[in-house]
Amino acid sequence: MKSVLDVAAIKADFPIFEQSMRGGKRLVFLDSGATSQKPRSVIEAESNFYYTSNAAVHRGSYLLAERASEAFDGARSDVAEFLGVDSEEIIFTKSATESLNILAYAFGNPRSARCVGPGDEIVLSELEHHANLIPWQELAKRTGAVLKWFSVQEDGSLDLSNISSVITEKCKIVAITHQSNVLGSIPNIAPIISATHAVGALFVLDACQSVPHMPVAPRELGIDFLAFSGHKALGPTGVGVLWGKSDLLDGMQPMLFGGSMIDSVTMTDATWADAPKRFEAGVPNMAQAVGLAAGLKYLQSVGLEKIHEWELQLTKRALDGLREIADVKILGPQSLEQRGGVISFVIDGLHPHDVGQVMDQFGVAVRTGHHCAWPLIRKLGVSGTTRASFYLYNDMSDVDVLLESVTAARDYFRKR
């Protein structure tokens, strides 16, 4: 099958693939669901900021400060363009985890325009990563709100048969993942969004596993908030994004306080600047934001639709191959419908950590364990899984090595 991407040329842009792994094996990186590798353009954009423009943004009238501010503001505009939104709706955070915590804090603050109180309902799903579960759990505990959720079915989809009883007039917040980081399944969020807004609630999308891999347009989806991590989208660690509709952001109270986020201050009181500044206290992650913008530009140059199509081709080959290996069970979606390039599997009688260690001997990097999704893992009835996740720098030979290493892991422990 002909690739829609020039993977060899893409891989050449990523310096990390120039090194060898154990025993001289080449690196087969299949853990992009946890973090992506970085192209030279991202590494250089971040380092060049320190070489040429390092100064605290929006604080000085000298040349370096002007360069820094222009680079940081430009990065915000680039992220906004990537999502098709307004730049003042883009908040830089340190991670998607922080982005979601900012929302959960704001909705628990009585001074916010939209606030959760006793008896109100917050709706999640069993697919959620801890980052989109625990902040809402804590919000419910603080406010006396009730936590409800959609259950996951064997094929990785959400059971929406009871949507009218899950999302009721008492609902204030619905927070759902756009793609499961464990199963790769993409929930059917359209009816959930519709039901959310029908009762006047707000919809939050955890887009960590979707924004780096496929076109995502918040306005077209009709959502209210979106969060994603820079390090999963070819960008540096230490930078995340929170997008929200401007009128909603301006009605929210901030979680962090200090310099840059204020409008005025006296010895006894303070007022906040408009969004996004009110949510970016202190000197921001300037170089990281610049690096993220470079990563998103790289993705745009390749094409998100092509990336998604290629990942599904890789996923099909992996699914077909894993089915042929005795004692291997694939969890979640068995077809390419409503899924992305993430596959979780177990080998009968073997612990995922043992499987991962054998695969490492082949240069294969996969994630093993519960993937920060304990409720889902318990629902699946396993102690953990081995997870392979594909990206634009993977090719069919990577899938072949994956299958070879899985077979070797099974055979190694069967002989002992």
Q: What is the pLDDT of residue 60?
A: 85
State how far the Cα of 300 lies from the Cα of 215, in Å rounded to an integer. Answer: 10
208 is a catalytic site residue = no
State how far the Cα of 143 lies from the Cα of 137, in Å rounded to an integer. Answer: 10
For 392, phi and psi rounded to 5 degrees? -65, -20
Token pair belonging to 280 = 């970016």
Q: What is the pLDDT of residue 415?
A: 62
Q: What is the pLDDT of residue 3?
A: 77
Torsion over CA: 318, 319, 324, 328 (sign): positive
Catalytic residue among 115, 171, 208, 372: 372
Q: What is the pLDDT of residue 362?
A: 98
Beta strands in 291-389 (DSSP E): 328-331, 342-347, 364-365, 367-369, 385-389
State how far the Cα of 242 lies from the Cα of 256, in Å rounded to an integer. Answer: 14
Q: What is the pLDDT of residue 1?
A: 55
Domains of the chain: 7-30+303-414 (3.90.1150.10), 44-300 (3.40.640.10)
The alpha carbon torsion through 76, 79, 80, 83 (nearest 10 deg) reads: -170
Q: Where does residue 156 fall: left (phi above 0), alpha (psi -120 to 50 degrees), or beta otherwise?
A: left
pLDDT tens profile 243-287: 999 999 999 999 999 999 999 999 999 999 999 999 999 999 999
Q: What is the pLDDT of residue 416?
A: 54
pLDDT one digit per residue (tens) for the chain, 416 residues: 567 899 999 999 999 999 999 999 999 999 999 999 999 999 999 999 999 999 999 988 999 999 999 999 999 999 999 999 999 999 999 999 999 999 999 999 999 999 999 999 999 999 999 999 999 999 999 999 999 999 999 999 999 999 999 999 999 999 999 999 999 999 999 999 999 999 999 999 999 999 999 999 999 999 999 999 999 999 999 999 999 999 999 999 999 999 999 999 999 999 999 999 999 999 999 999 999 999 999 999 999 999 999 999 999 999 999 999 999 999 999 999 999 999 999 999 999 999 999 999 999 999 999 999 999 999 999 999 999 999 999 999 999 999 999 999 999 987 65
Q: Enumerate residues 6+ apart whose C-beta is below 8 A from 162.
A: none
